[in-house]
Amino acid sequence: MIDIIKADGRREPFDEHKLRRSLRRAHIPQKHHDAVVRQIMSSLYPGIPTREIYQHVQNFFMSAYPEGAPRYNLKQAIMELGPSGYPFERYIGALLERQGYVVQVGTVVRGTCVSHEVDVLAKKGHEHYMIECKFHNEPGLRSDVKVSLYVQARYLDILNAWKKQEPPEEQNDTHQAWLVTNTKCTADALEYAQCVGMKVLGWNYPEHGSLQDMIEESHLHPITSLTTLSQSHKQALLNKNIVMVRDLEQQQSTLNELGLTMLEAQAVRREMATLMQEQGEG
Amino acid sequence: MIDIIKADGRREPFDEHKLRRSLRRAHIPQKHHDAVVRQIMSSLYPGIPTREIYQHVQNFFMSAYPEGAPRYNLKQAIMELGPSGYPFERYIGALLERQGYVVQVGTVVRGTCVSHEVDVLAKKGHEHYMIECKFHNEPGLRSDVKVSLYVQARYLDILNAWKKQEPPEEQNDTHQAWLVTNTKCTADALEYAQCVGMKVLGWNYPEHGSLQDMIEESHLHPITSLTTLSQSHKQALLNKNIVMVRDLEQQQSTLNELGLTMLEAQAVRREMATLMQEQGEG
């Protein structure tokens, strides 16, 4: 069994099943899976970093199935929403908005003790969510229990104030704190969150309905997924508050403002169209 | 009015009154104050960093009143307890122990949801304190409201568990969370702490009974205050869990193990003796 080295430095045996699952999750058509697995198996060596395995998968897609690349590099694309955490907050807000939530991003909310800057407030019917977005620029960084703890204390401070001034028709509404992260949480952070009733949405967590699943299922890829745009063009779009491929598709004029050649712009349009297809070919 | 630049980058007008207060706080005899102030006033220029002012004060002491140096450099001495936060925790523990508390440093305490590592637990009579020590290596770094928030959430999780298993004779005991830092806290962090009843002990905070006052009044200087010991000797002592000058005075054998020359060891002993004098000459 060959050991691979994960982003956080830990070793674990290479797991073909995990690789296949990551392909399914990225909606890569079934017919390509065996070829990807064969290519990876032939390039493994003891201590290979997951980063390198990931690069091999990307190389395969570039030659054999170009549409796969932006789907498969979702995790990296989310990292590229940095360096600040703000585009990630906006992205999470937009994701929830498309799911029917009424959303506010980066608002200051008065608690009983102090005012707090809340990353995302989301409301659907009688459900209110106070969402903390924890963005990390590096894979392998985990949110620890201090994060769950401060999110909970802040939530309680705000909830206290809310309860006092709630209009009568909202008195039976439910409130919940969420912690959303693009990486992972420590076991303690998850245990504490579960114990106090906080929802955690992380990379591949929970097993069903993780952040990754939410993005894949709704085809709401961030613009950073596009392999046809350069790093600087992506940053220019983020600065214009365009975070999703769907936003860019609907505002094609913005694409023209980037100063792309006609061929380059065509390539971007083609990649967007493929990514937006409801289910791919698989 | 000449502006000076503080460690956190903010400008403020030079304040002679503050300088005099810092001399009083360090128990520098009154008769030296005017000379120090004259020397500083003559070396001021617009935009002078406080670090440089501090160095001028130290230079004055080195020539005119050597005993003053280790007293006046207390803030820097506490910084030198780093880079890890552990000697600071031990130092705070020892400080409270000398004030009659029963102290445990770095213990794991079971809360209702998860187990927490608590920096210092202190108990005196019917009072129990759960203390978080926040050590910063750089002046100007402030603990923000997230710190007060997580300290409070952790405290509540532990208190919940405590209440359930408390022996009957302790049922009327009082519990309190403390946040102790060698730098400062943001206004929000202080406001939240005050609102929930958390005690904050910081550099020059609260105005009376700050960490600095506690140290000065009890003459429990950290070994890093000693100007006669090199950086590496200080680290060697910290590694042996010797954090206070008083500890070193009582374990002179440790001093011999450092490999100092007889003259060097004498200088250290002399400096320690001066520092231990109850009130100095002032």
Q: Where in chain B is the domain with CATH 3.40.1350.10?
A: 86-217
What is the tens place of the pLDDT at every residue in A104-163? 999 999 999 999 999 999 999 999 999 999 999 887 789 999 999 999 999 999 999 988
Give the pLDDT of residue B16.
92
Give the pLDDT of residue B220.
85
Distance, CA of A98 to CA of A204 (rounded, Å): 21
What is the tens place of the pLDDT at every residue in A169-178? 888 899 999 9
Mean pLDDT across the stretch B151-178?
Answer: 91
**How confident is the prediction for chain A on average, in pLDDT?**
89
Q: What is the ipTM, given to two decimal places?
A: 0.81
Give the pLDDT of residue B282.
37
Written as six digits, the tokens of B163 are 């209440």
Contacting residues of B for A146, CB less than 8 Å apart:
146, 150
Q: Which of the 8 DSSP states describes residue B246?
A: H
Question: CA of A248, closest CA in chain B: separation in Å?
Answer: 36
Give the pLDDT of residue A192.
98
Give the pLDDT of residue A280.
43
Give the pLDDT of residue A156.
97
- B195 Cβ contact list (under 8 Å, min separation 6): A112, A113, A114
Chain B residues bordering chain A (beta-carbon distance below 8 Å): 112-116, 145-147, 149-150, 152-154, 156-157, 188, 191-192, 195-196
- The architecture that CATH gives domain A86-217 is 3-Layer(aba) Sandwich (3.40)
Question: CA of A111, closest CA in chain B: separation in Å?
Answer: 10
Percent pLDDT > 70 in chain B is 98
| B280 pLDDT higher than 70 | no
Distances (CA, A) of B163 to A171, A269, B110, B144, B172: 30, 62, 12, 29, 10
Contact flag B113-A154 (C-beta cutoff 8 Å): no
What is the tens place of the pLDDT at every residue in B110-128? 999 999 999 999 999 999 9
Contacting residues of B for A154, CB less than 8 Å apart:
149
Mean pLDDT across the stretch B203-222?
Answer: 84
Residues linked to residue B116 through DSSP beta bridges, in sequence order: B109
Taking every pair of C-alpha atoms in chain B, what is the biggest distance, in angstroms?
65
Percent pLDDT > 90 in chain B is 45
Contacting residues of B for A115, CB less than 8 Å apart:
188
Percent pLDDT > 70 in chain A is 98
Distances (CA, A) of B161 to A152, B37, B109, B166: 17, 54, 9, 9
| B56 pLDDT higher than 80 | yes
Q: Which of A132-141, B66-75, B94-103, B137-146 has the lowest mean pLDDT?
A: B66-75
Give the pLDDT of residue A278.
47
Mean pLDDT across the stretch B250-265?
Answer: 86
Give the pLDDT of residue A118.
97
**How confident is the prediction for chain B on average, in pLDDT?**
89
Contact flag A112-B150 (C-beta cutoff 8 Å): no
Question: CA of A25, closest CA in chain B: separation in Å?
Answer: 32
Written as six digits, the tokens of B23 are 């001399």
Question: CA of A281, closest CA in chain B: separation in Å?
Answer: 46
Element (H, E) at A124: strand A115-124
Contact flag A113-B146 (C-beta cutoff 8 Å): no
Distances (CA, A) of A219 to A54, A95, A278: 21, 10, 7
Percent pLDDT > 90 in chain A is 45
Distance, CA of A13 to CA of A23 (rounded, Å): 18
Distances (CA, A) of B110 to A146, A173, A186, B117, B160: 15, 33, 17, 9, 10
Contact flag A150-B154 (C-beta cutoff 8 Å): no
Top residue of B113, B117, B130 to mutate, by most chain A CBs within 10 Å, is B113
- B194 Cβ contact list (under 8 Å, min separation 6): B200
Give the pLDDT of residue B279.
41
Contact flag B116-A157 (C-beta cutoff 8 Å): no
Reported confidence tier of residue B187, pLDDT bands at 50, 70, 90: very high
| A281 pLDDT higher than 80 | no
Contact flag A195-B154 (C-beta cutoff 8 Å): no
Give the pLDDT of residue B40.
92
What is the tens place of the pLDDT at every residue in A243-252? 899 889 888 8
Reported confidence tier of residue A21, pLDDT bands at 50, 70, 90: confident
Top residue of B108, B133, B146, B149 to mutate, by most chain A CBs within 10 Å, is B149
Give the pLDDT of residue A204.
79
Q: Which of A173-182, B241-250, B261-270 has the highest mean pLDDT?
A: A173-182
Residues linked to residue A103 through DSSP beta bridges, in sequence order: A122
Contacting residues of B for A196, CB less than 8 Å apart:
113
Distance, CA of A260 to CA of A269 (rounded, Å): 12
Top residue of A116, A144, A149 to mutate, by most chain B CBs within 10 Å, is A149
| A86 pLDDT higher than 80 | yes
Using an 8 Å Cβ cutoff, are B139 and B79 in contact? yes
